[in-house]
Amino acid sequence: MFKNPELKLIQFTVNKIVHGRDYMDIVSSLAGKTVDWERFKDLIGYHEISPFAYLVFKPYQSLLPDQVNKFLFNNYWYSLKNNLCKEREYNIIYRAFIKNGIRIVPIKGVALIKDVYSDCPVRPMGDIDALIERSDYDASARVLKDIGYEKDLEGLNENYWLNEQCHVVFYKKTGIPYSVRLELHFRLDFKRNNKEIFPSVWGRTRNIGSVATNTLLLSPEDTVFSLALHQRRFGKMFCLKYALDTALIMNRYKDTFDWDYVISTCRDYRLFSCLYFLFLQANLLLDGSAVIKEAEKLRVPVYKKAIMRRFVLENIGSVPLNKRIKVNYLKSHFLLYDSYGEPALYILNIPLEQFAKYYGMDTYSTKTKLLYRLRFLYFLIHPFISVSGTR
Per-residue pLDDT tens, the chain, 391 aa: give them: 677 888 888 888 888 888 876 655 666 666 666 888 998 999 999 899 999 999 999 888 888 899 999 999 999 999 999 999 899 999 999 999 999 999 999 999 899 999 999 888 999 988 999 999 999 999 999 999 999 999 998 888 898 898 888 899 999 887 654 578 999 999 988 877 777 888 889 999 998 765 445 678 999 999 999 999 988 877 678 889 999 999 999 989 988 999 999 999 999 999 999 999 999 999 888 875 555 677 888 999 999 999 999 988 888 877 666 666 666 666 777 788 888 778 777 777 888 888 888 788 888 999 988 988 888 787 777 666 554 444 4
Q: Which residue spans of the chain are classified as CATH 3.30.460? A: 102-218
Residue 118 is given by DSSP the state T
Please tell me whether residue 115 adopts helix, strand or coil conformation.
Answer: coil
Strands 179-185 and 128-131, bridge-based pairing: parallel
20-23's contacts with Cβ under 8 Å and 24+ in sequence apart are 23/287
Coil vs helix vs strand at 348:
helix
Instruction: Confirm if 204 and 222 have CB atoms less than 8 A apart.
Output: yes
CB 277 within 8 A of CB 228: yes
- Asked if residues 86 and 125 have their Cβ atoms less than 8 Å apart, the reply is yes
Residue type, 1: M
Q: Are 145 and 171 in contact (CB under 8 A)?
A: no
- DSSP, residue by residue, 245-305: HHHHHHHHHTTT--HHHHHHHHHHHT-HHHHHHHHHHHHHHHTS--TTGGGGGS---HHHH
Q: Is 11 helix (H, G, I), strand (E, B) or coil?
A: helix
Strand pairing class (128-131; 215-217)? unpaired
Confidence (pTM): 0.87
- Architecture of the structural domain at 102-218: 2-Layer Sandwich (3.30)
End-to-end CA distance of the chain: 41
Are 261 and 201 in contact by the 8 Å Cβ rule? The answer is no
